[in-house]
């Protein structure tokens, strides 16, 4: 119990005990042994008294957050071109930008901005889209490995509808490029795992989708993609795969919906109905709910409360650059606001999400994709973010629970002090 990933942190601790309950400790103790959380305590148990103790005083300590869906190559154009809906936005802004990652010098610089900022936000785990380019994706993985974050990264597959600059020649070329990428990275990384990444059905021929489904099975590789984000996209998929009963079934027909042991992540599911919900649940898939993106591209509001009640796996994604920021607190806030408007304007039988539920989705909900991740229960990986909220002046005595809610509604004043992933401190701020 003496290596540097065994220690005790002291501070204002908050974590989800269940989706409806946040447990807090004022000036409590949080114990990490060999990178694994041993629990949170009001009094430090005798057996941990010899571990080094770092006292964070009045600061908050919460579990690291999981960004279940983010596009690394889109980071540098976030916040512009937001008056479009999905398909126009992809063709006008996104595909021309991603085409630039053919140039490794461009990719290296742009990805350095992405990784630099990802280290400095609330995220400790992320599932990331790259581009279709081999070298640029290796560069992204190399940079992410350096950060100490734990991630899945995908070389994107697309063999149709990308225009002449962002498209692989055909299914065979795309599959070969994927195998080459997998062979190149084999055994190279500890914290950066590959994930198969068919962009979405409009970008991938039937043959390519089937090939990826097979590759996933052969190699036990997970898959990420997009599902039912936008109404024009949903209608297009119906034309492209006429034999499918719905968009989720189209993925199912190609064997890309995964299994509970090898779960697929589907971003969005804004327009998913009961039938799609059943398919997602049957396969143990994860929904990456991306409320900021869904607002920006006028996609709609996903009925997340219904999915939770049905027992579907859910986490949150920033979906940069359709989402304009990698700040998970902002994503939490928009998730809350969107669910309130869904209740008010769409369906009053679907109650708004509570703060407890959204805090859970950002931490334990998405964390589940990585295993025992996202809370401070014993046995979970020790991913923690220490936050200084002393700049949020108040006249009140605030509970820890109030302070974490306030931090979500006033994200600009929540400053990250330190960040730990699996017990390793991978970021420390000089500012606070």
- 85 or 411: CB nearest ligand GUN: 85
Residue 319 interacts with Fe ion (CB under 5 A)? yes
Residue number, nearest CB to Fe ion? 319
Residue 200 interacting partner from ligand GUN, Fe ion, none (CB closer than 5 to 8 Å by kind): ligand GUN
Query: Hey, which residues between 360 and 399 contact ligand GUN (CB under 6 A)?
Result: none
Residue 133 interacts with ligand GUN (CB under 6 A)? no
Residue 200 interacts with ligand GUN (CB under 6 A)? yes
Residue 417 interacts with ligand GUN (CB under 6 A)? no
Q: What is the 3-state secondary structure (H, E, C) of the chain?
A: CCCCCCEEEEEEEEEEEECCEEEEEEEEEEEEECCEEEEEECCCCHHHCCCCEEEEEEEEEEECEEEEEEEHHHHHHCCCCCCCCHHHHHHHHHHHHHHHHHCHHHHHHHHHHHHHHHHCCCEEEEEEECCCCHHHHHHHHHHHHHHCCEEEEECEECCCCCCCCCCCCCHHHHHHHHHHHHHHHCCCCCCEEECEEECCHHHCCHHHHHHHHHHHHHHCCCEEEEECCCHHHHHHHHHHCCCCCCHHHHHHHCCCCEECCEECEEEECCCCCHHHHHHHHHHCCEEEECHHHHHHCCCCCCCHHHHHHHCCEEEECCCECCECCCCHHHHHHHHHHHHHHHHHHHCCCCCCCCHHHHHHHHHHHHHHHHCCCCCCCCCCECCEEEEECCCCCCCCCCCHHHHHHHHHHCHHHCEEEEEEECCEEEEECCCC
From residue 319 to residue 358, the character string flagging contacts with ligand GUN as x (rule: CB under 6 A) and all else as - is x--x------------------------------------
Find the shortest distance in angstroms from Cβ 71 to Fe ion. Answer: 6
- 97 or 405: CB nearest ligand GUN: 97
Residue 78 interacting partner from Fe ion, ligand GUN, none (CB closer than 5 to 8 Å by kind): none
Residue 229 interacting partner from Fe ion, ligand GUN, none (CB closer than 5 to 8 Å by kind): ligand GUN
- 76 or 354: CB nearest ligand GUN: 76
Query: Hey, which residues between 257 and 276 contact Fe ion (CB under 5 A)?
Result: 267
Which member of 33, 90, 227, 384 binds ligand GUN (CB under 6 A)?
90
Query: Hey, which residues between 48 and 77 contact ligand GUN (CB under 6 A)?
Result: 71
- Applying CB under 5 A, the residues found at the interface with Fe ion are 267, 319
């Amino acid at each position: 119990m003496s290596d540097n990933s065994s220690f005790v942190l002291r501070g204002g601790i908050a974590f989800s005990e269940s989706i409806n309950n946040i447990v807090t400790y004022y000036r409590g103790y949080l114990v990490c042994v060999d990178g694994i959380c041993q629990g949170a305590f009001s009094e430090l148990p005798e057996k941990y008294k010899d571990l080094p103790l770092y006292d964070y005083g009045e600061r908050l300590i919460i579990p690291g957050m999981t960004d279940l869906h983010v596009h690394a190559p889109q980071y540098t154009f976030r916040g512009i071109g937001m008056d479009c809906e999905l398909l126009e936005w992809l063709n006008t802004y996104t595909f021309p930008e991603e085409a630039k990652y053919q140039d490794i010098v461009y990719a290296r610089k742009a990805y350095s901005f992405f990784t630099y900022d990802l280290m400095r936000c609330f995220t400790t785990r992320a599932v990331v889209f790259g581009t279709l380019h081999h070298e640029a994706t290796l560069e992204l993985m190399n940079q992410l490995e350096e950060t100490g974050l734990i991630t899945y990264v995908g070389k994107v597959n697309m063999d149709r509808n990308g225009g002449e600059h962002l498209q692989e020649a055909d299914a065979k070329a795309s599959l070969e490029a994927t195998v080459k990428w997998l062979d190149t990275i084999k055994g190279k990384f500890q914290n950066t795992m590959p994930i198969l990444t068919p962009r979405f059905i409009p970008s991938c021929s039937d043959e390519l989708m089937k090939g990826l489904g097979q590759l996933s099975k052969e190699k036990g590789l997970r898959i990420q993609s997009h599902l039912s984000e936008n109404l024009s996209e949903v209608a297009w998929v119906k034309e492209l795969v006429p034999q499918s009963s719905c968009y989720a079934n189209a993925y199912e027909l190609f064997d890309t919906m995964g299994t509970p042991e090898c779960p697929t992540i589907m971003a969005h599911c804004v327009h998913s109905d009961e039938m799609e919900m059943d398919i997602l649940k049957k396969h143990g898939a994860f929904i990456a709910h991306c409320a900021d993106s869904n607002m920006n591209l006028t996609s709609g509001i996903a009925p997340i409360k219904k999915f939770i009640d049905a027992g579907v796996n859910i986490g949150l994604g920033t979906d940069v650059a359709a989402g304009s920021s990698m700040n998970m607190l902002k994503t939490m806030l928009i998730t809350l606001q969107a669910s309130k408007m869904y209740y008010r304007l769409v369906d009053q039988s679907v109650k708004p999400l509570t703060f407890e539920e959204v805090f859970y989705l950002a931490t334990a909900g998405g964390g589940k994709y990585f295993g025992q991740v996202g809370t401070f229960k014993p046995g979970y990986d020790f991913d923690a973010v220490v936050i200084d909220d002393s700049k949020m002046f108040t006249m009140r005595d605030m509970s820890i629970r109030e302070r974490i809610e306030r931090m979500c509604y006033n994200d600009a004043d929540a400053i990250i002090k330190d960040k730990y992933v699996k017990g390793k401190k991978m970021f420390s701020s000089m500012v606070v």
